Amino acid sequence: MKLNFKNSAIIIVLVFLNSFKIFAQEKVEQWNRFEIKLQHHNKGNSFNDVQLSAKFFNSDTTFFVSGFYDGNDIFKIRFMPQEIGKWNYIILSNIDSFNNKKGSFECIKATGKNHGIIKVSDTYYFKHADGKNYYPFGTTAYAWQHMGNELQEETLRSLKKSGFNKVRMCVFPKDYTLVKEEPIFYPFEVKKIETDTKGKKVFTWDFEKFNPLFFQHLEERIDDLAKLGIEADLILFHPYDKGRWGFDSMPNDINLKYLKYLTARLASFKNIWWSLANEWDFLKAKTVKDWDLLTKTVVKNDPYMHMCSIHGSTSTYYNYWKPEFTHVSIQDEAPVLNSYSAATLRNIYKKPIVFDEVGYEGNLKSRWGRHSPEQMTHLVWNGIIAGTYVTHGETYMFHNEKDTIYWADGGSFKGTSWKRISFLRDIVEEAPEPLFMADISRDLNTASAGKGYYLIYFGNEVNESWFFNLPKKNGDLEKLKPGTKFKVEIIDTWDMTITTHPITFETKAIDNYRFYDKDMKDIRLPLKPYIALRITEIH
Amino acid sequence: MKLNFKNSAIIIVLVFLNSFKIFAQEKVEQWNRFEIKLQHHNKGNSFNDVQLSAKFFNSDTTFFVSGFYDGNDIFKIRFMPQEIGKWNYIILSNIDSFNNKKGSFECIKATGKNHGIIKVSDTYYFKHADGKNYYPFGTTAYAWQHMGNELQEETLRSLKKSGFNKVRMCVFPKDYTLVKEEPIFYPFEVKKIETDTKGKKVFTWDFEKFNPLFFQHLEERIDDLAKLGIEADLILFHPYDKGRWGFDSMPNDINLKYLKYLTARLASFKNIWWSLANEWDFLKAKTVKDWDLLTKTVVKNDPYMHMCSIHGSTSTYYNYWKPEFTHVSIQDEAPVLNSYSAATLRNIYKKPIVFDEVGYEGNLKSRWGRHSPEQMTHLVWNGIIAGTYVTHGETYMFHNEKDTIYWADGGSFKGTSWKRISFLRDIVEEAPEPLFMADISRDLNTASAGKGYYLIYFGNEVNESWFFNLPKKNGDLEKLKPGTKFKVEIIDTWDMTITTHPITFETKAIDNYRFYDKDMKDIRLPLKPYIALRITEIH
């Protein structure tokens, strides 16, 4: 067991209190991980026997966090400080040598690319804790950290060169068509492995004992993602097990114990999102009531309120209006076939909307895995114009036996939409504010990003020209005025070019709803689908 | 004051108990109105002073209903019996001569077109209490019963010849562009009417005294609708007042008193639906908390649980998941621009979805009132294919001063979509079961009505031909099988024709999702938009 603090440690100090050792840092950046490491030999099952938590407090806030057993007589308590300055703590435990131990550390200002935990902002959007807008451009690699180490490193390299800033990934290993790899670690201690008459391995788990190596590995990978500025949208349960390991149908008390252990370990990771499940409705052992309890358990054990949602099968919507869910994480492609349907979900839920599965770019026979790269890109654009977010995924069938399917294994991207999505991310991040539909339910393809900024997307329409025109309405903002001057840029979303149109346009009211150019000027457009326009006010 | 029982009375009997007169019927059909009429002279304000209710019970059910003061020393208690057989009642009152009076009547089986109150059925649909499916094909006449009597009669005649079976109408009179008529009755007693410096009437109401004539008239009109088989979707508050009468901004205690009085009077009407508001978000005097309380008040005072919803401005969605709302009553046109968006709302809310405002057929300058008849019809079809419902409305500008605008005044229809909607209603009612999308989020225009029945709608696509093909998936029902034989009828939704295609088709699986004809037979289609196909299994 390595006693390192790969990401958050600045200085490791040894505090001697009553000749008992506490390993912890002296200084930690905001939103990085403060970790207390404690040693104690317990004869029984330390996962069950030892109660361990701590109270962290500064002059105006108090947090209670749970500790956990990390194997080899090592216990840990982790905390994510959010405010700079001195933080104090008191350890609470049924182990005498731990109990009532006190300490403190200094939280220092975040540096570099550390923008902090993600929070919901202004109802529909996400922001880092430091105020930087966060626009989720996610991809999918459900079981990447369960693959061989070389492949994991390849996944990290491919993510690094992509524009993705969120990955949907499962805690538990995956058994599915095209995904049969045995994981490198198991979450529980193995009691025994037998082989049944068909040659299938039959595992008997000691559900009372977690396997710290499994979780340490998961944490390393989440930290690796953090270094790349990528959020880990961690799926806590999934149905892709089919009796192979049985993690989809553990007793409910074990499910709760697992969630408490997982949150004690991971809640202090700034780039964690909780996804209670993938395709929750396919987990037949659990009822909606069970899911409600599991969700509440996660939220209750996460003092920082990380993003939290749950994900169903196609068009299966959970009760996302429940307060535990910070955002809506949907599998459904119908609403992103155009912008206005996607925007309707904003209007209904009044939370950020993330279409976390809309089908994948690929060449599978299954319809969920055979979008053209153009269609994958188009669906992401539709979501963006609606002020929502759409997650990418790639399911290209193996070319040879060394080949991998990104959606499950990770590896390298074989498709071409990922580059276009990165291009789109740049456009979105250059906008002054998050996008919303300027004239909701009436203008079907014009997004606004505040005053003087519009993004119009023509989807798969092929238009020869476009009369300069904008809606008078601009969300809840001040209405557009006549005499406003605009620059227009033509965006080829597929070829990834942005061409500035040489002419300046000036608005003139035509009716109570639309403004055209005062001289009714129009623009020639490339005779291609997937053209967008960026229209910005000139002062 | 007429002592008649226009609709529900079979026999009026005088029961002499302690020499006190109770007027009531001996027999009442299921879901018709049983009414107890009581006389008492009270020196004070009978609306406030007199407490009056009754307990109705048969061998296994008990209902508590509130009575009300109906003016001229007359008090009434109304009850809608739902189960046949003997019903007993006991009156409870702070008037000694009323209190503890007992009686009974017989509820007899419904006859003729009396199918009973509407209930939600199978999550997404409506049924009458007797089991007959109810598919809402509504129209809009917000203030029709506030117009002159002759015009009201004209409205009833036009409704009778239409296919509409629901009317959205407001309790309170309406002041709006194009709607300036003074109502024939006011809901409260007038304390005084003054004229301000601009010549505007200024009313001072005695909010402690209702005007029974107002409510009696409303009831007559609701009964008139019942005779036509039309549900009264009664809007309890609306913002179209602009300080003219002030009914949009009464004190909250008066709002509650009004709702209690209204429900005491109207809950026993079998064709009542409660619409808490039109454009609730434009009623600036009320908060969401107020609306929640007002809604709960209505539901609490309605022992029969009539349909209940609330209606906002364009794309403003209330928290329709709250248990008080039996269905979703939306103003939004974006979701009915296609079927799959409309169906998404079913998936989200898991309640019947009624798009009660999607814009109106008309020729107004305002965009909410200028749909072509084709577009109005198209939007209704889109909703229907999605397993949802869309309400019609008509806003044709006046041709001359005698002319009326149906959406507010009623009168006669001037448009042409109403006939097509009636044609559609016939198709829907001939289907074996309510419609739903056969292959949700994947097949975008095929509805199923159970096994062996499909309705495909091509919307504004103009197709020369169509290869016979159906999805394998059929909602949650058994999947389609190869070797199934079908008849196809071509429906021209605009010309209102249904043409049976001479050829029989037989399914053959092409892939895991679609069935085509075994010989890949196709059908020539009329080169027109708005074509639909009805496909029924041949045994």
DSSP string, A140-157: E-TTGGGS-HHHHHHHHH
- The secondary structure of A13-45, three-state, reads EEEEECCEEEEEECEEECCCCEEEEEECCCCCC
Minimal CA–CA distance to B128: which of B138, B137, B116? Answer: B116
Taking the domains of chain A in order of start, what are their residue ranges? 12-108, 136-183+211-430, 436-537
Cβ contact (<8 Å) for B341 and A332? no
Dump the DSSP string for A53-95: EEEEE-SS-EEEEEEEE-STTEEEEEE---S-EEEEEEEEESS
Burial of B289: CB neighbours in 10 Å, binned 0-12, 13-18, 19+:
exposed
Do the chains contact at B442 and A314, CB–CB below 8 Å?
A: yes
Looking at residue B401, what is its pLDDT? 64
| Nearest partner of A332 among A416, A394, A391, A419, judged by Cα | A391
Out of A199-208, A304-313, B349-358, which region has the weakest mean confidence (pLDDT)?
A199-208
Task: Give the tens place of pLDDT for each residue, A192-246.
Answer: 999 999 888 999 999 999 999 999 999 999 999 999 999 999 999 999 998 899 9
Q: What is the pLDDT of residues A53-66, one digit of tens each?
A: 999 999 999 999 99
Q: Sign of the CA dihedral B444, B447, B450, B452? A: negative
Question: In the β-sheet with B52-57, what is the strand arrangement from edge to edge?
Answer: B12-17, B20-25, B34-39, B74-79, B62-69, B52-57, B85-93, B102-108, B27-29
> Residue A523 half-sphere exposure, CB side, CA atoms within 13 Å?
26
DSSP state of B436: E
Residues of A in contact with B348 (CB under 8 A): 317, 345, 348-349
**Residue in A335, A365, A442 closest to B344 by CB:** A335
Q: Residue A256's pLDDT is what? A: 98
Q: What is the pLDDT of residues A88-141, one digit of tens each?
A: 999 999 999 999 999 999 999 999 999 999 999 999 999 999 999 999 999 999
Nearest to B276 by CA among B233, B322, B241, B232: B233
Contact yes or no for B348/B381 (Cβ under 8 A): no
Mean pLDDT: which of A420-429, A505-514, B393-402 is highest? A420-429
Which chain A residues touch B317 with a CB distance below 8 Å?
347-348
Beta bridge pairs of residue A169: A234
- Among B317, B321, B442, select the one facing A367 at the smallest CB separation: B442
| Closest CB from A334, A442, A512 relative to B344 | A334
Per DSSP bridges, beta strands A353-357 and A389-390 are parallel
Please tell me which residue of chain B has the smallest CA distance to A320. Answer: B348
Task: Using an 8 Å CB-CB cutoff, list chain B residues near A319.
Answer: 321
What's the one-letter identity of residue A70?
D
C-alpha closest to that of B271 among B85, B77, B108, B138: B138
Are B315 and A345 a contacting pair at CB < 8 A? no
pLDDT higher than threshold 50 for residue B54: yes
- Chain A residue with CA closest to B441: the answer is A334
**Alpha carbon of A436: minimum distance to chain B alpha carbons (Å):** 14
Interface probe with A: pick from B338, B437, B441, most Cβ of A within 10 Å: B441
Q: Average pLDDT in the B370-393 region?
A: 98
**CATH H superfamily, domain A136-183+211-430:** Glycosidases (3.20.20.80)
* Interface predicted TM-score (ipTM): 0.93
Residue A4's pLDDT is 45
* Residue of B344, B436, B437, B444 to mutate when probing chain A, most A C-beta within 10 A: B344
CA distance A89 to A210: 27
Model confidence pLDDT, tens digit, residues A338-375: 999 999 999 999 999 999 999 999 999 999 999 999 99
Closest chain A residue to B320 measured between Cα atoms?
A348
What pLDDT shows up at residue B7?
Answer: 44
Mean of the pLDDT values across residues B185-193? 96
Helices (H) and strands (E) in chain A, counts: 9, 35
Cβ of B334 within 8 Å of Cβ of A344? The answer is: yes
User: In sequence order, what DSSP letters do the residues of B79-135 get, joined into one string?
Assistant: E---SSEEEEEEEEESSTTTTT-EEEEEEE---TT----EEEETTTEEEETTS-EE-
Write down the pLDDT at residue B13. 47
Q: Measured between CA atoms, how close is B340 to chain A, in angstroms?
A: 6
Query: CA of B16, closest CA in chain A: separation in Å?
Result: 56
Look up residue A144 and give its two tokens.
């990447």
Contact between A230 and A166 (Cβ < 8 Å): yes
Sorting pLDDT into bands at 50, 70 and 90, what band is A296? very high
Question: Does residue B272 register a pLDDT over 90?
Answer: yes
Query: B406-454, pLDDT tens digit by residue?
Result: 999 999 999 999 999 999 999 999 999 999 999 999 999 999 999 999 9
- Whether the pLDDT of residue B122 is over 70: the answer is yes
Q: Which bin fits B169, alpha (ψ -120 to 50), beta or left (φ > 0)?
A: beta
**Pairwise CB contact (< 8 Å): B335 & A344:** yes
CATH superfamily, domain at B12-108:
Immunoglobulins (2.60.40.10)
The answer to whether A12-108 and A436-537 have equal CATH topology is yes
Q: Do A440 and B333 touch (CB under 8 A)?
A: no
**Which residues in chain B are closer than 8 Å to A328, comparing Cβ atoms?**
none
Contact between B335 and A317 using a beta-carbon 8 Å cutoff: no
Give the C-alpha separation, B457 to B443, whole Å: 11
Rounded to a whole number, what is the distance in Å from the CA of B450 to chain A's nearest CA?
20
Pick the closest to residue A95 from A35, A24, A39, A17 (CA basis). Answer: A39
CA distance B201 to chain A (A): 31
Contact (CB<8Å) A366/B512? yes
Question: What are the tens digits of pLDDT across the range A262-294?
Answer: 999 999 999 999 999 999 999 999 999 999 999
Residues in chain B whose Cβ is within 8 Å of chain A: 314-317, 319, 321, 332-335, 337-338, 340-341, 343-345, 347-349, 365-367, 440-442, 444, 511-513
| Minimal Cβ distance to A317: which of B347, B365, B442 | B347
Instruction: Decide if B315 and A365 are in contact by the 8 Å CB cutoff.
Output: no
Per the structure block, which two tokens stand in for B227?
A: 């005779």
pLDDT tens-digit series, residues A127-183:
999 999 999 999 999 999 999 999 999 999 999 999 999 999 999 999 988 888 899
Range B194-232 burial, b when 16+ CB lie within 10 A, else e: eeeeeeeeeeebebebbbbebbbbbbebbbbbbebbbbb
pLDDT value, residue B18 = 46
Nearest-CA distance A151 → chain B (Å) = 33
**The predicted structure's pLDDT at residue A401:** 65
Least CA distance to A359: which residue of chain B? B442
Question: At residue A73, what is the residue type?
Answer: D
pLDDT at B511 (0 to 100): 85
Interacting residues of A153 by C-beta distance below 8 A, sequence separation 6+: none
The DSSP secondary-structure symbol of A444 reads S
Q: Nearest chain B Cα to A340, which residue?
A: B334
| Whole-angstrom distance, CA of residue B150 vs CA of residue B158 | 13
Does residue A12 have a pLDDT over 60? Answer: no
Average pLDDT, chain B: 94
Shortest Cα distance from B292 to chain A (angstroms)? 16
Chain B residues touching A315 at Cβ < 8 A: 344, 347, 440-441
For A275, the enclosing helix (H) or strand (E) is strand A272-277
Q: What are phi and psi of B242, to 5 degrees?
A: 55, 40
Interface test with B, best of A347, A379, A476, A514 (most B CBs within 10 A): A347
List, in order, residues 6 or more apart from B398 with CB less than 8 Å away: B178, B404, B405
Architecture of the domain spanning B135-183+212-430: Alpha-Beta Barrel (3.20)
Q: In what order do the strands lie in the sheet with B389-390?
A: B328-331, B353-357, B389-390
The DSSP annotation for B460-505 comes to: T---SEEE-EEES-BTBSPPP-TT-EEEEEEEETTTTEEEE-S--E
Contacts of A349 in chain B (CB under 8 A): 348
**Lowest-pLDDT choice from A308-317, A349-358, B152-161, B191-200:** B191-200
Region A19-26: mean pLDDT is 77
Architecture in CATH for domain A436-537 = Sandwich (2.60)
Residues of B in contact with A367 (CB under 8 A): 442, 513
For B199-238, give the DSSP string. S-EEEEEEEEEE-HHHHHHHHHHHHHHHHTT-EEEEEEE-
- pLDDT of B344 reads 97
pLDDT at residue A397 greater than cutoff 90: no
Structure tokens belonging to residue A481: 């005025």
Q: Are A334 and B319 a contacting pair at CB < 8 A?
A: no
pLDDT at A20: 63
- Determine how β-strand A446-448 pairs with β-strand B62-69: unpaired
- pLDDT, tens digit, 9 for 90 and up, residues B472-515: 999 999 999 999 999 999 999 999 999 999 999 999 988 889 99
Q: pLDDT grade, residue B20 (50/70/90)?
A: low
How far apart are the C-alpha atoms of A347 and B283, rounded to whole Å?
Answer: 19
Shortest CB distance from A341 goes to which of B314, B344, B365? B344
Could you report the per-residue pLDDT of A23-74, keeping only the tens digit for each? 889 999 999 999 999 999 999 999 999 999 999 999 999 999 999 999 999 9
Cβ atoms within 10 Å, residue A461: 11
